[in-house]
Structure 1
Amino acid sequence: MSATIIDGKAYAEGLRSRIAGAVGTLAGQGVTPGLAVVIVGEDPASQLYVKNKARQTVEVGMRSFEHKLPATTSETGLLDLVARLNADPAVDGILVQLPLPKQIDAQKVIEAIDPSKDVDGFHPINAGRLMTGVPGLVSCTPLGCLLLAQSVRRDLAGLNAVVLGRSNIVGKPMAQLLIAQSCTVTVAHSKTRDLPQVCRNADLLVAAVGRPEMVRGDWIKPGAIVIDVGINRVPNPAAGEAKTRVVGDIAYAEAAPVASAITPVPGGVGPMTIACLLRNTLEAACLRRGLPMPAVDFAAP
């Protein structure tokens, strides 16, 4: 068996194209969605990520508002900015880039964002809506994982799904999204007994534990769909002592011959995060104005 490689880069490109079409539809009604991104400090990875978000926001026809603050910014200063963005009618979505400097309580900032503009889907109100099956804004990475799984199997109902990882950002919302798809869901983690056997029961395995190549090939059920959320840098001796390479949480070379479909790292889940952020911004713009979402099949491959 040779697994179908789920090309997240190509899927995200198609998703952005459909979002751009929907934004064009809204523009005909006099609405241009706006996304505000706030970054505190000079972390190079965060700076690059925010730059890509801004570029892709403009490319789909939305307005991009960037706020770059020094690492010395106080918690009060950041909360004041969030309050201004909450009140700004031109801003439909607010994203505060994590991590934040140690003097700022990230949870306090997340809770200060207007839930209707919380395009990261981290606010407790949006998390509660997801838990109770009420429509709301959903965390971007889990949403991207769901769309990629559905790109190879549209109907996930009845599958045994295992989510490896229990973070508020990926693991917990991922489990709730899969429950909503009528999967039977197990949330596993580092303290799960006989973790390899739990993973072997999965028709759909989502790995989001942050440990390089932790999941071996013999942990994979033959024919399973495997979604790898991990982005881990490891030494790359072949390229020199100081060089690194990026790997996922799945031992890809071992898992690919066993699975029916698998996401690569890089090029799998990663590109979907920004695409789903744009989708959330579009949804927030519609919800805030009482408008229906444009008739676009966002789950199409």
Structure 2
Amino acid sequence: MQLIDGNRTAKTIKAEIAQEVKNIVAQGGKQPHLAAILVGHDGGSETYVAYKIKDCEEVGFKSSLVRYEDDVTEEELLAKVEELNNDDDVDGFIVQLPLPKHISEQKIIEAIDARKDVDGFHPVNVGRMVIGLPSFVSATPDGIVELIKRHGIETSGKDCVVIGRSNIVGRPMSVLMSQKEMNATVTVAHSRTKNLKELCANADILIAAIGSPGFVTADMVKPGAVVIDVGTTRVKSTETKSGWKLKGDVVFEEVAEKCSFITPVPGGVGPMTRVSLLKNTLLAAKKEIYK
């Protein structure tokens, strides 16, 4: 079994990005600028945005954080999105999800200029990704593809099962794995899938993105399979100072023994999600997706 080390891979990619930014600035180019809008004080969102700001500093990006309380109106948020759309200094920005229930997440996503949508959630970017045009790809699926490629994992002709069909991970992941670069034969499974255990047990590559801690057990995994655990559920714990810890969708201890490759939680997919956001921001700054 080989551990797929997301921390180490992300560190390598950050160094590559930092060097490119240094070269751009040395040649008189503009410092890439990533902005984030954070609504409320959700613990996971606070942590994630703090990491994003730290990541920007590490690679030489400029970063901005716009904060709102939970009672911000949809109109106020839309006005700020429009302001960032029109700010020439901002290359890309994200609106951290989830948002309060009185705000339509889809309306906010669609209000973002697709050319600055470095989260890759806008329907224009999703559509371009599906038909194979240059696009900003959703950060988590993009990070997983990068992990697979950089670890030399063979995907061509392999049977891949993706558990989960969310617009953020499952659906785009299935599309990326089936495209010519990866050439896998993909099945998307979900809560209504019949014979889910048997389906997973035949997969050469199993990608668990269902958001259910410990869902994938050893009897669902084929010997020698590649297992990618996307789950990051915060569960209460007496073992940590914070009182909680991250749990993946896979029971790592029992599944790892059967795998050829497996991602840990934390330290697997998570760091790659963050680094993919940096990649998208650099692409936005260089105008490589939308000329």
TM range, smaller chain: over 0.9
Aligned 1:115-264 pairs, distance under 5 A? 115-180=114-179, 181-236=182-237, 239=239, 243-264=243-264
Aligned to 1:51: 50
Other structure's SS at 2:280 match = helix
Q: Structure 1's 150 and 50: CA in aligned 2 closer, same or farther, altered over 3 A?
A: same
1:88 and 2:109 matched: no
Give 5+ residue unaligned stretches, structure 1. 292-301
**Amino acid of the residue matched to residue 16 of structure 2?**
R
Taking the aligned partners of 2:268 and 2:89, their CA distance within structure 1 comes to 32
Deviation at 1:142, TM superposition (A): 0.7
Q: What TM-score, normalized to structure 2?
A: 0.94
Whether the 8 Å contact between 1:210 and 1:232 is mirrored in structure 2 is yes
Q: Structure 1's 289 and 108: CA in aligned 2 closer, same or farther, altered over 3 A?
A: closer
Aligned to 1:294: none
Whether the 8 Å contact between 2:136 and 2:289 is mirrored in structure 1 is no
Whether the 8 Å contact between 1:149 and 1:225 is mirrored in structure 2 is no
**Amino acid of the residue matched to residue 19 of structure 1?**
I
Q: What TM-score, normalized to structure 1?
A: 0.91
Taking the aligned partners of 2:264 and 2:64, their CA distance within structure 1 comes to 32
Other structure's SS at 1:205 match = strand
Whether the 8 Å contact between 1:4 and 1:262 is mirrored in structure 2 is yes
Taking the aligned partners of 2:111 and 2:253, their CA distance within structure 1 comes to 43
Other structure's SS at 1:21 match = helix
1:13 and 2:11 matched: yes
Whether the 8 Å contact between 2:283 and 2:289 is mirrored in structure 1 is no
**Amino acid of the residue matched to residue 134 of structure 1?**
L
Taking the aligned partners of 1:120 and 1:218, their CA distance within structure 2 comes to 35
Q: Structure 1's 94 and 289: CA in aligned 2 closer, same or farther, altered over 3 A?
A: same
Deviations 1:6-49 (A, max 9, x none): 11111111111111111122222412111010001122321222
Deviation at 1:287, TM superposition (A): 1.9
**Amino acid of the residue matched to residue 116 of structure 1?**
R
Whether the 8 Å contact between 1:5 and 1:261 is mirrored in structure 2 is yes
Taking the aligned partners of 1:154 and 1:22, their CA distance within structure 2 comes to 27
Taking the aligned partners of 1:288 and 1:147, their CA distance within structure 2 comes to 18
Q: Which of 16, 22, 25 is matched with 1:24 structurally?
A: 22
Mean CA deviation greater in 52-61 or 160-169: 52-61
1:276 and 2:276 matched: yes
Aligned to 2:105: 106
Other structure's SS at 1:95 match = strand
Aligned to 1:297: none
1:68 and 2:67 matched: yes
Whether the 8 Å contact between 1:116 and 1:288 is mirrored in structure 2 is no
Deviations 1:94-151 (A, max 9, x none): 1000111122111000000000110000000101011111110000011111111223
Deviations 1:245-278 (A, max 9, x none): 3221011111111010000011111111111100
Mean CA deviation greater in 178-187 or 164-173: 178-187
Deviations 1:153-193 (A, max 9, x none): 35421111111100000000101110122111000011111
**Amino acid of the residue matched to residue 15 of structure 2?**
S
RMSD (CA atoms): 1.7
Give 5+ residue unaligned stretches, structure 2. none
Q: Structure 1's 20 and 255: CA in aligned 2 closer, same or farther, altered over 3 A?
A: same
Q: Structure 1's 185 and 74: CA in aligned 2 closer, same or farther, altered over 3 A?
A: same
